[in-house]
Each structure stands twice: as C-alpha cells, then as structure tokens.
Amino acid sequence: MNNDVILKVDGLKTYFNTDDGIVKAVDGVSFELKKGETLGLVGESGSGKSVSNLSIMKLIPSPPGKIMAGTAIIDGKEDIFTMTEAQIRELRGNRIAMIFQDPMTSLNPFLRISTQMIETLVLHQNMSKKEALVKSIDMLELVGIPHPDKRVHDYPHQFSGGMRQRVMIAMALSCDPEILIADEPTSALDVTIQAQILELIQSLSKRLGTAVIMITHDLDVVAGMCDTVIVMYAGRIVEKGTNDEIFDDPKHPYTRGLIKSVPRLDRPAAGRLFSIEGQPPNVIDLPACCPFHPRCGEVMAKCKNITPGVTKLENGREVRCFLYEGDK
C-alpha cells in the first residue's frame, strides 16, 4: 500500500437490526485518507456519514448494529476491526480523535477542564500531572482561548458555544492523533463562529500534520477546505474527487444538485435557492436500483432496476452513475 495513506477503508458494511427490518446504514464504503490531508464527507442527513466513522472507531452500539464486512487498515499495518479491546482503547485515545456537533457529548459538565484534560494526558501520554497541566494550558492557547492559565480551571458551562468547541478541539488534539474525525463540528454555531472554527481546524491540522475527516451535510462547509471530497447517498459513496473536481465539474446528478443548492457569494443571488426535490430513500429493503433515481432529472430505464457500480474516471476520480459507464 502507498505509505502516504494513514487509513484505508475497504468494503465497509454496517447494518442495524430493527423491528422494521435490516437498516443498511453503510453498504460497501471504500476510501483512502492520506497523511495530513483533509477529506470532506458530505451528504444529506441519514446517508451514513456518522455510522461510517463510528464504525472506524468501533463505537457502533451492538446490538442493534453490526459491522458486517470490510477492513479499516491504519498506517498500512493493523486492521482496526480485528484489534483487541486494549488496542482499540489506545487507538481512540492516541491515534484517532473525534469531535462532534455538541461539545457536551465529550465534556463532563461536572469536572473542570483541567481535570478532564490532565486525566487524558496522564493516561495516554504517561505525563505527570504537572506536565499535563502545562500541556493543557499550551493547547488552550493554541486554539485561541484567552487567559488559558486561568480558564483551564473553569467548568464547561463557563464557556460560550464557540469557545467550548475550541476546548473540545484542544482536548482532541492534545495527544497528537494521526487522524481527527470532525462530525458536523460547527452545525450548532452561528455563521461567523462557524468560519472561525473551521479555519482553526484547518490551520491546526496543517501545523500538526493531522489528517482530518470533515463530516457535514452542508457542502458550503467543505468548499475550499478539503483536499478530497466524498459524496454519500443512501449508505454508499456516489462520487469522489478532489475539491476542485467536485466543485468545478461535479459528475453525479446528486452532487450537481447539492452544489446548485449552495449559496455563492461570488455570484448575484438568482432568487430562491435550488433544492433537490424529494426525500432520500429508506435504506431498509432497498431493491436493486440507483437509490437516487426517483429524484434524478436524468433518470434512464436501467436506473430503476440495476444498481450502478463504481466507474473510475481519470486521476482516481470515481462516480456511481450509469451516465459515465462508457467513460472509463
């Protein structure tokens, strides 16, 4: 394997057993994350973005969930899915960190930030408490918290939403992970703060060499920020390309729809924004077909009864759509 690749996910399938049937939340997802790159994972709510990444962290509740197939090789060596519990704990603490929309899911409201940060550093980095406090203050400074030597002793609720998100980023990056998974990290913040947080993640990842998986339902968030963009629909990847390829020349009708629905600051507003008609399909008992066909303006007869495979285009670009079948 190319040793620039820090994570290689191949054929991941994660299903949930529910009263209504089997939810095929992730159904054959494959991608590579290169060292230090930022990979955008976009798609409407329910497309399988979070489940893909929770699978990689082995955080799928089981039952009802189960990883049915696939491998996730980290740094060209071990498969995460066959690791022992002890290896997984070390992976989560040290090698892959995750941040979420709501920082309170990772912060304990009853403990001072110092207590929480020190505990992680003592456990995973073998630091003394004193060293860990110094490191915690350094990290808070790095993420732009004013007076970090005082604020480190505050409780989570004493920070504003944006500042709390910064604290979570400081905690996530304190053990120097190789990968940061950011799952809709700014969806709850107002637009100005959102831009600041995205810029912070971007500049820290460049500075520290951390690879980032940026998950969002909002294409606007990843525009210009990512090296590679993956578009998910109904548990599958429907398009993959570089940032410029996806934004300048989107191939899949779904990606084109998503891009048309993003407001552009560099163009005059053309009245109401475009939105893709219809709803994503139910991923229980999905018959063979392109799951996007009921919403697609370019639907053909075969889209309704054959599932399109992946067509590989130039430069490693990929699209799952019959329009490009002959373009290999």
Ligand X SMILES: Nc1ncnc2c1ncn2[C@@H]1O[C@H](COP(=O)(O)OP(=O)(O)O)[C@@H](O)[C@H]1O
Site for ligand X, rule CB under 6 A: 16, 18, 23, 25, 43, 45-51, 61, 64-65, 283
Quote the least distance from Cβ 326 to ligand X, whole Å: 31
Q: Which does 213 bind (CB under 5 to 8 A by kind): ligand X, Mg ion, none?
A: none
Nearer to ligand X, 121 or 276 (CB): 276
Nearer to ligand X, 101 or 114 (CB): 101
Nearer to Mg ion, 136 or 194 (CB): 194
Quote the least distance from Cβ 206 to ligand X, whole Å: 26
For residue 99, give the nearest of 167, 196, 193 by alpha carbon.
167
Quote the least distance from Cβ 260 to Mg ion, whole Å: 23
Q: Which does 197 bind (CB under 5 to 8 A by kind): Mg ion, ligand X, none?
A: none
Dihedral sign, CA of 268, 221, 168, 36? negative
Q: How far is CA 327 from CA 91, 262, 321, in A?
A: 40, 28, 11
Quote the least distance from Cβ 210 to Mg ion, whole Å: 21
- Report the interface residues with Mg ion, using CB under 5 A: 50
Helix axes 191-208, 161-173, angle to 10 degrees: 10
Q: Which does 177 bind (CB under 5 to 8 A by kind): ligand X, Mg ion, none?
A: none
Nearer to ligand X, 108 or 282 (CB): 282
Long-range CB pairs of 285-290, under 8 A, 24+ apart, other chains included: 285/21, 285/22, 286/24, 286/234, 290/320, 290/321, 290/322
Is the peptide bond between 64 and the residue preceding it cis, with omega within 30 degrees of 0?
A: yes
Nearer to ligand X, 46 or 103 (CB): 46
Quote the least distance from Cβ 50 to Mg ion, whole Å: 3
- For residues 192 and 218, give the distance between their C-alpha atoms in angstroms, rounded to a whole number: 15
